[in-house]
Amino acid sequence: MKPKPATAAADSASDLNQRIAGRVRELRAAQGLSLDTLANRSGVSRSMISLIERGESSPTAVVLEKLASGLGATLPSLFDGLSAKASGPTSPVSRREDQPEWRDPASGYIRRNISPVGLSQPMQIVEVHFPAGASVAFDNHLHGGRVHQQIWLLEGAIEISLGKERHRLRAGDCLAMQLDRPITFHNPTRKPARYAVVIASETPSRR
């Protein structure tokens, strides 16, 4: 992936922070949740949620996953921006230039939302570029409804720990799982990995 100029990257990060801020505010308001209630549900502090909702924080993937779980949503849906109802008609086509890319400030991994925004479908597709030696861990214990995920490794190698299960994937391998246990992704090699994620909710997330 060709790196973006520093100024463009900073602008992109700021735009995504605002997108996430609006989405979190929207989901919280739709459920009538106070900051304190969401903090208790998610395990994210009230002050951190407030910063995120104002677009004044660059939260890590771990923090965003906790927030998504507390809101009964999936992590990719936080990058969708405001819902179709709030932002206008949706399109069934997601153009490459419109697909948001986000870098986790903790692990450095880059995720890109592939799926069109705002469609009432239970699946979402994400592409991830995972740096050499990087690791990231998610709790996956507060999702509303059953959420399934498949990881299709396109390049490189990656180790995935799901609860007590351990899986090492090579290019072309696909792992299916239910997001009901802690999960850790680790790239043990000196080369980056790239994989596609397909997420499907039996009970559609609140979008």
Q: Considering Cα of 110, then 98, then 87, then 198, what sign does the dihedral take?
A: negative
Residues 6+ apart with CB under 8 A from 137: 62, 182, 183, 184, 185
In the block, which residue shows the tokens 């609006």?
Answer: 22
Q: Tell me the whole-structure pTM to 2 decimals.
A: 0.83
CATH class of the 6-201 domain in this structure: mainly beta
> Tens of pLDDT along 94-128?
999 989 899 999 999 999 999 998 777 889 999 99
pLDDT at 63 over 60: yes
* C-alpha–C-alpha distance, residues 197 and 151, integer Å: 5
How is the chain split into domains, by residue range? 6-201
> Tens of pLDDT along 181-201?
999 999 999 999 999 999 998
Find the farthest-apart pair of alpha carbons in the chain and give their distance in angstroms, rounded.
Answer: 46
DSSP codes joined into one string, 9-22: HHHHHHHHHHHHHH
Least confident of 89-98, 174-183, 197-206: 197-206
